[in-house]
A and B are shown apart, each in its own frame.
Chain A
Amino acid sequence: MSSATFIAWENRLGKMVKEPGGVRLGEALDQAGKNLDSIQMECLKAMDGQIEEMERLCAEGGRQPPDETKHEIYDLANDVLAVAGSFSLKELGEAAFCLCELVDRLRTRAKWNQAAVEVYLSAFRLLRYPDPGADRSSVLLGLRGLTERVAAIAE
């Protein structure tokens, strides 16, 4: 059994945040929200480009894409996840997470399912401009079920 050494350290950040000045937490949250609003358009535009790129990769890759294509789709889905939920597109972010899970499970087993990925990308389009009256939770439920079924077949 190895021994463990414990090291005390100075939390310099902790000292700094208590120094006089700064902002109230309520104001900090408000300002951060305004700052996010100011970059929303450019972030969503970039995210739309990432969805388009996934569509292109999926179409070009066909039924047996190279590993690089699988990795790129995984990374792009992670990028969509990073942006969508920060700008009131929570369901799109969750769908992107599910696509990451699907791609990760497929590529780990050197498998692919183009049709399943295409279903995801169609759902991305639906969730990108959600109809206020639409039942988005059922879309997510269906996507999660799809991931489980496809991953189970791949195993």
Chain B
Amino acid sequence: MAQLDPKAWINLEKARILLLDDHPEGGNILAQICMGFGARRFFRCTTGEEAKDLVKESELHMILVNANLRESPAFDFIDWLRRSNLQPNSFTPVVLITGHTQRSQVEKARDCGANIVLAKPVSPQSMLERIIWIAREKRPFVNCGNYIGPDRRFHDTGPPAGMAGRRHNDPPEGVSVSAESEAAAEPNEAQGGEAA
């Protein structure tokens, strides 16, 4: 994460934020941190079903989801959101907040379509870094059938060696992107710099 400039500004006064967390203290921690950042408009839900109803009714700018919901898997809600085709909410940035993740759920966490993961314990610093990161988010969304969400590739290193790419702008088979990047004299944001 980039270092924060304490003199830079952030305006979250009008941001409509969904907090999906069934742990009262965890939800309070998220809310108090975001209020400190100037956010005022919160919607708090404790189940995926409640959150789905809200997404259908209200335009949202950011969604914070506790990955460890008891009643309904948080990953299912995010996957539903991405596939919902509810404009503009289906593209709303999602921060997935994880405690311990069950081994059986690790792949789901990766593939659910969240923009970024934030590991607990949450601190003001770590939360602000993630919010700024997603505010700068430029990765396109990808729909490849079994996954809909932000492109999981933060760096464009091209398709695997010996394989044709699936992107229209992938290089032809046999042409290595990494070979090109090795020859580059200057840092290239698409290859190794900050994604934001």
Question: Chain A interface (Cβ within 8 Å of chain B)?
Answer: 1-14, 16-26, 28-36, 38-39, 42-43, 46-47, 74-75, 77-79, 81-86, 90, 93, 97, 100-101, 104-105, 108
CA distance A37 to B135 in the complex (A): 27
Asked if B6 contacts A22 (CB within 8 A), the reply is: no
Among B120, B145, B151, the residue within 8 A (CB) of A6 is: B151
- Name the A residues within 8 Å of B25 (CB-CB): 39, 42-43, 46-47, 79, 82-83
- CB of B125 to closest CB in A, whole Å: 6
Asked if A17 contacts B10 (CB within 8 A), the reply is: yes
- Name the A residues within 8 Å of B138 (CB-CB): 11
- Name the B residues within 8 Å of A14 (CB-CB): 135-137
B192 at interface by CB-CB < 8 Å: no
- Name the B residues within 8 Å of A24 (CB-CB): 6-9
Bin the interface of chain B by size.
35 or more
Asked if A7 contacts B36 (CB within 8 A), the reply is: no
CA distance A1 to B14 in the complex (A): 43
Of B44-52, B95-103, B181-189, the one with at least 4 CB within 8 A of chain A: B95-103
- Name the A residues within 8 Å of B26 (CB-CB): 79, 82-83
- Name the B residues within 8 Å of A84 (CB-CB): 121
- CB of B48 to closest CB in A, whole Å: 16
Q: Could you list 7 examples of A-B contacts with CB < 8 Å? A: A6-B140, A7-B141, A28-B128, A29-B124, A36-B29, A100-B100, A108-B103
- Kindly report which residue of chain A lies nearest to residue B38, judged by CB atoms: A23
Asked if A4 contacts B167 (CB within 8 A), the reply is: yes
- Kindly report which residue of chain A lies nearest to residue B11, judged by CB atoms: A22
